[in-house]
Structure 1
Amino acid sequence: MSRTYGQFCGLARAMEMVGERWGMLVVRDLLLGPKRFTDLRAGLPRIPSSILSARLNELEEAGVVRRRVLPQLDASVVYELTEYGSELEAVVLQLGLWGARSLGSPGEEDVFTMDSAILSLYTTFRPEVATNVRASFELHYGPTMTLHALIDGEDLKVGEGPYPDADLTVTCYGSIKPVFAKEISPQEALDQGILSISGDPALLEVFADLFHIPAAPRKVEGLAVR
């Protein structure tokens, strides 16, 4: 890599490796498993192909990403995180939660991908609240995106697609962020038509407690106030 900060500092080195525009989003999407170039393009619809190629090459050079040829007949090339790159998972989740605290309402052109939806649940999950919870949730974001979340105590597993006989099915007609941020109650979300549910209604409060976005500090006369 030619760009450096010229500092003997771990943070500076980390930013040299993954801090270029789109770099961390490529890492984000690879956290969920290997992907073809076309898969990454689909999940990052605004990235030019040339930039994606450059980011992948840089991440590969840094030892964060590697490419592998699948054993199938088509011999497709996929990109995946190395063991070193996989260590970024905790960083990505923590940074995602930090950023989510400042999210407003989604813009008309903002995209919300399946990878983003899955990782948002891992990001906001509170295992300390889930100690005694055993439940399955099916989530629908709009008419085309379905995923599921399985809670087994402090263990969370999120995957794409429906889950047969889920304990609670939640359909979101708008951003669920106000519920996770405790800006509105689950009942208010139902009353306002942001959510609809089927299954055990008592689990909606449980669901809203399991996933949480802390409030961002607000500023008053130039001072940050919590």
Structure 2
Amino acid sequence: MPDYPKASPMRYDEGSPEAHALNLVGDRWPLLVVRELIFAPKRFQRIRAGLPGISANVLSRRLAQLGAAGVIVHDEKQRFYALTEIGRELLPVIHELCRWAVAVPGHDLFRFISPTALMISMNAVLVPERARGREAIAGFDFGSEAFEVRLTGGKLQVIAVNCPETPFVLSGNGNGLAEGILGAVPLPELMAKGMVSVSGDVAAASEFLSLFNMRQAS
């Protein structure tokens, strides 16, 4: 493991586990940096592309902070950052934050949504009653990143790939595809507006998107 700078000084002067966790990842940006590395290692600029508003200096400090906490490692030869085992264990935390957030008013789908952020949020808005007993596999192509999403046993598994090999592939940016997953906008409408394109089985793609959005189901 590289010689990272020491972690930032303790901010919460108490011994509770939750305070300890916040001392490690509770600053602005660390959890979102972790989010961007959930599915695959990335280089510095690819991480930054998923975090609009973060400066290079701040990202460098947050990567150093996460490295000192044992959450990430840096392959200096390949120049990739990757999550450690304890870093990957933050995924359920991020999932629960998403589930909590979609129930709170004020979520703005028109603000930037990274491809990785959208893939993670899909678990938060999968409607259990619609997904029960169904199996499906979907492809997503964002240009810079691509994923295969498998539904089985009522749960989603997301895999980063170079090129999806699935019955259909939904293409667009994070915000356009979020309209179908988080906003419950029908796929034909998204296609008519040029926000999303589909290669392969369009009917299967539309049926897949119908499995999402808890607000629509409530």
Counterpart secondary structure, 2:131: coil
Name stretches of at least 5 consecutive residues in structure 2 with no aligned partner.
1-7
Moved more, 195-204 or 132-141: 195-204
Deviation digits for residues 122-150 of structure 1 (CA, Å, limit 9, x no counterpart):
44345664343333323355x77654323
Separation of aligned partners in 2, 1:3 and 1:38: 29
Highest RCO, 1 vs 2 (Cα 8 Å, sep ≥ 6):
2
User: Do the aligned partners of residues 86 and 193 (structure 1) sit closer, same or farther apart at CA in structure 2, a change above 3 Å counting?
Assistant: closer
CA RMSD of aligned residues (A): 3.4
Counterpart secondary structure, 2:15: coil
State whether residues 184 and 210 of structure 2, in contact with CA within 8 Å, keep that contact through their aligned partners in structure 1: no
- Equivalent of 1:104, from 105, 108, 111? 108
Letter in structure 2 aligned against 1:85:
G
Separation of aligned partners in 1, 2:97 and 2:185: 24
State whether residues 148 and 161 of structure 1, in contact with CA within 8 Å, keep that contact through their aligned partners in structure 2: no
Q: Does 1:30 align with 2:42?
A: no
Counterpart secondary structure, 1:148: strand
1:60 is aligned to 67
Report percent identity of matched pairs. Answer: 27
Normalising by structure 1, we get a TM-score of 0.70
Letter in structure 2 aligned against 1:90:
P
- Equivalent of 2:48, from 14, 38, 41? 41
Deviation digits for residues 176-216 of structure 1 (CA, Å, limit 9, x no counterpart):
4454356555566567665554544543453134333437x
Of structures 1 and 2, the larger Rg is shown by 1
Say how many residue pairs are matched: 206
State whether residues 176 and 190 of structure 2, in contact with CA within 8 Å, keep that contact through their aligned partners in structure 1: no
Counterpart secondary structure, 1:39: helix
Q: Which has the higher strand share?
A: 1
2:96 is aligned to 94
State whether residues 118 and 159 of structure 1, in contact with CA within 8 Å, keep that contact through their aligned partners in structure 2: no
